[in-house]
């Protein structure tokens, strides 16, 4: 275990690519550059709110025990071995080309060398302006930092590919935010998350270089990405092979989000990791009631582009943008052929995943109808997704009548079922039980499959909201409890969290819908 101030960093990104090393933090375009040097802007007082022990252990990082190491977490101290920078990238936002964006409030300190022999970028989110802050302040507020810290760790424990979070500190500096975009700006507590991943490279890093017609740099970045993160790809078609693997990883990620009911909320191409990780936690949410049209992002309401059920299709669209960015490096037909593999990969993995959620021994073509029937019935009746699947694990193998079925699942519903709805549920469950009867695996094995695929605890928005309100008052009871609860989502003993979203949270801001203001 080494302290954060140790000389344990590589800086290969900045050493391999051209950057603007002036340190100038004035917002600007940086043609020909992949990054701009950005020293964090010091804050009033760094106070540690949370530290991820398990992650720190994995990365070989010692918990800060000196003022100096603590100050690193708030951007008040930069160790000699670090070369802090903000990456330059572009992206498509809500379907439109947005041009240069870049890390407006994220600063990578360096590439930390882990005991396993890898490197992980250590990045501060909210550490002050960079050349890419445009009109914004480069800061982050406590509520959005708590959300990123807890949720990225929660996703990790759910087994969903994600960036991680090592620490959460408050800065002692107030940050002005117009939370509802209605002209009522107010000061909130400032905070900084240290987040980490092997790489934060996004589709947008590649789109930027293509848009600027910097084809040599584009080739260099692709080659570097493959060498570093996809070293098993060695053949002469490695660019296409790489794109194929990005397609596969992205499809896997979408299946995983569908499995646990995660809605990202801002699937712009600048928020799409080239490693297939969940990245940039903003106005995300789990679905409570199963609603494919649900979007947690108030900015997304007009078109619901990023709604729960649309995510797999949007990922395909985003991969299309990445394919377009690679056109200078590979034949169009071949890129398109690889892009088209997305659908096949996605559906294959999707049905496999649903088979696990339903505890099926195998998923054959005959089962796809049943899976579709589940989707349609759930979308119509809108039970709480998490609770419904928990109740499904324990469903009696023989169900007498509609009433018995409705009673069994009662706890998961947000409303009384109409007669027709009870009937639909009964038909669904009858078909399901018939299928379970044909399972060639023991009931216990089937139930174990289901327990592994269906979380019992999810980090619901209203819980985060309550924890944040407490923290803003200086209490950390719920926050501390949630920090523990996220670690065992499949076997959770936290019965107090095993309940539907309460009625009061349905319309309350921050509990169901969120803005991008953070």
Q: Point out which residues bind ligand AMP (CB under 6 A).
A: 101-105, 132-133, 136-139, 266, 268, 271, 280, 282, 516
Give alpha helix (H) positions in 231-364: 238-260, 311-325, 332-358
The answer to whether 260 and 458 have CB atoms below 8 angstroms apart is yes
Helix H or strand E encompassing 72: helix 67-73
Q: Determine the Cα–Cα distance for residues 461 and 287; give it in Å rounded to an integer.
A: 9
Q: At what angle do helices 419-437 and 402-409 cross, to 10 degrees?
A: 90
* Count of other CB atoms within 10 angstroms of residue 348: 13
Helix H or strand E encompassing 85: strand 85-87
Selection from Mg ion, ligand AMP, none that 362 binds (CB < 5 to 8 A by kind) is: none
The Cβ-side half-sphere exposure at 231, using a 13 Å CA radius, reads: 2
Whether 270 is catalytic is yes
Selection from Mg ion, ligand AMP, none that 40 binds (CB < 5 to 8 A by kind) is: none
| Closer residue to Mg ion, CB minimum distance, 148 or 280 | 280
Task: Determine which one of 270, 280, 288, 300 is catalytic.
Answer: 270
Q: Token pair for residue 347? A: 């559906």
Least Å from the CB of residue 176 to ligand AMP = 10
| Closer residue to Mg ion, CB minimum distance, 8 or 271 | 271
| Closer residue to ligand AMP, CB minimum distance, 307 or 450 | 307
Residue whose tokens read 């023991």: 442
Give me the residue whose beta carbon is nearest to ligand AMP. Answer: 104
| Closer residue to Mg ion, CB minimum distance, 101 or 385 | 101
Q: Determine the Cα–Cα distance for residues 253 and 421; give it in Å rounded to an integer.
A: 32
Least Å from the CB of residue 70 to ligand AMP = 23
Selection from ligand AMP, Mg ion, none that 264 binds (CB < 5 to 8 A by kind) is: none
| Closer residue to ligand AMP, CB minimum distance, 131 or 358 | 131
Selection from ligand AMP, Mg ion, none that 14 binds (CB < 5 to 8 A by kind) is: none
Least Å from the CB of residue 458 to Mg ion = 23
Residue whose tokens read 């424990």: 157
| Closer residue to ligand AMP, CB minimum distance, 110 or 126 | 126
Q: Determine the Cα–Cα distance for residues 453 and 260; give it in Å rounded to an integer.
A: 8
- Contacts with Mg ion by CB under 5 A lie at 271, 280
Question: DSSP letter at 289?
Answer: B
Least Å from the CB of residue 71 to ligand AMP = 21
Q: Give strand pairing partners of 125.
A: 106, 193
| Closer residue to ligand AMP, CB minimum distance, 138 or 510 | 138
152: left (phi over 0), alpha (psi -120 to 50) or beta: alpha
Question: DSSP letter at 440?
Answer: S
CA distances from 203 to 271, 300, 318 (A): 8, 21, 8
Residue whose tokens read 């803003």: 472
Least Å from the CB of residue 367 to ligand AMP = 38
Least Å from the CB of residue 133 to Mg ion = 13
Least Å from the CB of residue 130 to ligand AMP = 7
CA distances from 41 to 174, 360, 432 (A): 14, 54, 58
* Count of other CB atoms within 10 angstroms of residue 174: 14
* Residues that are catalytic: 270
């Amino acid at each position: 275990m080494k302290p954060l101030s140790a000389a344990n960093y590589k800086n290969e990104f900045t050493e391999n690519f051209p950057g603007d090393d002036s340190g100038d933090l004035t917002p600007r375009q940086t043609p020909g550059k992949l990054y701009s040097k950005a020293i964090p802007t010091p804050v009033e007082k760094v106070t540690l709110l949370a530290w991820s022990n398990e992650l720190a252990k994995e990365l070989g990082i010692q918990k800060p025990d000196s003022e100096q190491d603590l100050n690193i977490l708030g951007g008040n101290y930069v160790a000699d071995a670090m070369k802090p920078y903000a990456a330059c990238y572009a992206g498509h936002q809500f379907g439109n080309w947005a041009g240069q964006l870049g890390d407006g409030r994220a600063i990578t300190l360096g590439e930390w060398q882990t005991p396993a022999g890898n490197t992980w970028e250590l990045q501060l989110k909210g550490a002050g302006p960079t050349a890419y802050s445009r009109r914004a302040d480069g800061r982050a507020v406590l509520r959005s930092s708590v959300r990123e810290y807890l949720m990225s760790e929660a996703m990790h424990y759910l087994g969903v590919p994600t960036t991680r979070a090592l620490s959460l500190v408050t800065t002692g500096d107030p940050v002005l935010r117009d939370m509802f975009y209605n002209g009522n700006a107010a000061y909130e507590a400032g905070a900084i998350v240290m987040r980490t991943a092997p790489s934060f490279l996004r589709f947008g890093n590649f789109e930027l270089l293509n848009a600027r017609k910097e084809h040599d740099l584009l080739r260099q970045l692709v080659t570097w990405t493959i060498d570093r993160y996809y070293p098993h790809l060695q053949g002469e078609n490695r660019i296409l092979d790489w794109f194929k693997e990005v397609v596969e990883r992205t499809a896997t990620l979408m299946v995983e989000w569908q499995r646990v009911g995660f809605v990202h909320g801002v699937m712009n191409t600048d928020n799409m990791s080239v490693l297939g990780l969940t990245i940039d936690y903003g106005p995300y949410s789990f679905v409570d009631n199963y609603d494919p049209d649900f979007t947690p992002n108030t900015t997304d309401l007009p078109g619901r582009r990023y709604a729960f059920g649309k995510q797999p299709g949007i990922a395909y669209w985003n991969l299309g943008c990445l394919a377009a960015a690679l056109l200078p490096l590979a034949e169009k037909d071949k890129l398109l052929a690889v892009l088209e593999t997305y659908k096949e990969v996605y559906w294959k993995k999707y049905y496999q995943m649903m088979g696990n959620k339903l505890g099926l021994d195998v998923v054959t073509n005959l089962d796809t109808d049943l899976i579709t029937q589940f989707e349609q019935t759930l979308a119509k009746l809108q039970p709480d997704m998490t609770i419904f699947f928990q109740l499904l694990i324990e469903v009696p193998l023989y169900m007498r009548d509609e009433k018995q079925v409705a009673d069994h699942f009662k706890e998961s519903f947000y409303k009384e079922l109409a007669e027709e709805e009870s009937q639909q549920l009964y038909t669904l469950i009858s078909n399901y039980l018939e299928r379970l009867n044909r399972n060639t695996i023991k009931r216990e094995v089937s139930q174990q499959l289901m327990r592994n695929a269906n979380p019992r605890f999810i980090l619901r928005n209203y819980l985060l909201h309550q924890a944040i309100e407490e923290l803003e008052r200086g209490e950390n009871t719920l926050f501390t409890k949630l920090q523990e609860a996220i670690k065992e989502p499949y076997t959770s003993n936290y019965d107090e969290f095993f309940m539907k979203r309460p009625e009061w949270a349905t319309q309350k801001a921050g509990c169901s819908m969120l803005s991008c203001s953070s």
